[in-house]
């Protein structure tokens, strides 16, 4: 009986040992959970599911122009525009407060030195002048024009060196209201203006009026005009014909024009034949005198 048990155990298959592998958990994926009946859940299995749109990047509003900048030339430009717009001097504290520059900072000291140098020299491109007496800054345009009297004075000084006109476009850089000032000065007879040939009659050029009152005539020319005496009306056609002119009251076809006779007698031009063998004139013999003679 024991032999049978041993034989049965020998016939039984043996279990093969296995190596247990390490289990690595995968990260959980984002699974979109859609409830039944929601807008995203398809009511029909054949209806495709709508894809969600990608979120657009948010565009934030740009910062407003506060009149401040880190670059020195930017600060100079802001200062020029502010002084030009104000049209009057500004205190140093007010100007640098507008530029958002702290006092006694490195930028403040650099700009103060730059404005002082531009005040001492007219060749610099910075159009800002500093007045140490009042501690104020003012806009200094290329041309010293800011009202009607300064405009007339500038044009008169210019007329002493050149008679060229001044462009209205260039004067606008110095005085924004120069068009109205030119019209006022023109009405007063202080300047001369040139207008464009358009409907608006836009001002183009201007000069100083150095010739006196507009529309006036000197007494000398008035006396010369009054001293001229016209002939009687009946003698006018004869006087005009004397000088070769045709009166407007006479038909031009009836006026006889005297033919001009040239006294000089024109001689016919002498034709000369072409001379050949000029280099052998001393060797060849002239037989012209023997023409018609028999040998």
What pLDDT is recorded for position 59? 54
What is the structure's pLDDT at 68?
Answer: 47
Closest CA to 185 of 199, 197, 168: 168
Q: What pLDDT is stored for residue 259 in this prediction?
A: 64
How many whole angstroms separate alpha carbon 22 and alpha carbon 62?
56
Q: What's the pLDDT score for residue 45?
A: 55
For 205-262, the three-class secondary structure string (H helix, E strand, C coil) is EEEECCCCCCCCCCHHHHHHHHHCCCCCHHHHHHHHHHCCCCCCCCCHHHCCCCCCCC
Cα separation values, 34 from 37, 39, 43, 49, Å: 9, 9, 12, 11
Local confidence pLDDT in tens for the 295 residues of the chain: 556 556 666 665 555 555 556 565 665 555 555 454 555 555 555 555 566 666 666 655 544 555 444 578 888 888 888 888 887 889 989 999 998 888 888 888 888 888 877 766 655 677 788 888 888 988 888 888 888 999 999 999 888 888 888 999 989 888 888 999 999 999 888 999 999 988 888 899 999 988 777 667 888 988 999 998 888 888 888 888 888 887 777 666 665 666 666 666 677 777 666 767 777 777 776 666 666 555 5
Whose structure tokens read 């209806």? Answer: 47
3-state secondary structure of 193: strand
- The interaxial angle of helices 106-120 and 72-86, nearest 10 deg, is 60
User: For 111-137, how does the pLDDT look when each residue is reduced to its tens digit (9 = 90+)?
Assistant: 888 887 776 665 567 778 888 888 898
Q: Bridge-partner residues for 195, per DSSP?
A: 203
The Cα–Cα gap between 18 and 21 comes to 9
Give per-residue pLDDT as tens, 61-95. 544 555 444 578 888 888 888 888 887 889 989 99
């Amino acid at each position: 009986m024991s032999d049978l048990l041993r034989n049965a155990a020998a016939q039984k298959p043996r279990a093969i040992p296995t190596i247990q592998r390490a289990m690595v958990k995968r990260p959980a994926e984002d699974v979109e959970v859609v409830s039944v009946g929601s807008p995203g859940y398809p009511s029909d299995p054949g209806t495709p599911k709508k894809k969600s749109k990608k979120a657009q990047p948010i565009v934030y509003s740009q910062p407003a122009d506060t009149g401040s900048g880190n670059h020195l030339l930017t600060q100079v430009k802001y200062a020029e525009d502010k002084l030009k717009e104000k049209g009057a001097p500004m205190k140093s504290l007010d100007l640098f407060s507008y530029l958002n520059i702290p006092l006694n900072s490195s930028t403040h000291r650099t700009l103060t030195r730059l404005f002082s140098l531009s005040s001492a020299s007219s060749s610099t491109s910075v159009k800002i002048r500093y007045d140490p007496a009042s501690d104020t800054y003012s806009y200094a345009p290329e041309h010293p024009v800011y009202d009607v009297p300064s405009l007339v004075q500038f044009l008169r000084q210019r007329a002493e060196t050149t008679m060229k006109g001044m462009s209205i476009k260039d004067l606008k850089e110095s005085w924004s209201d120069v068009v109205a000032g030119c019209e006022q000065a023109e009405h007063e007879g202080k300047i001369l203006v040139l207008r464009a040939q358009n409907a608006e009659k836009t001002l183009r050029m201007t000069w100083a009026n150095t010739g006196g009152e507009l529309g006036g005539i000197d007494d000398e020319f008035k006396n010369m005009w009054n001293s001229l005496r016209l002939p009687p009306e009946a003698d006018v056609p004869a006087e005009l014909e004397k000088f070769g002119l045709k009166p407007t009251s006479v038909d031009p076809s009836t006026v006889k024009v005297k033919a001009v006779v040239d006294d000089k007698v024109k001689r016919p031009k002498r034709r000369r034949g072409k001379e050949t063998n000029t280099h052998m004139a001393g060797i060849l013999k002239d037989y012209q005198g023997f023409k018609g003679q028999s040998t």
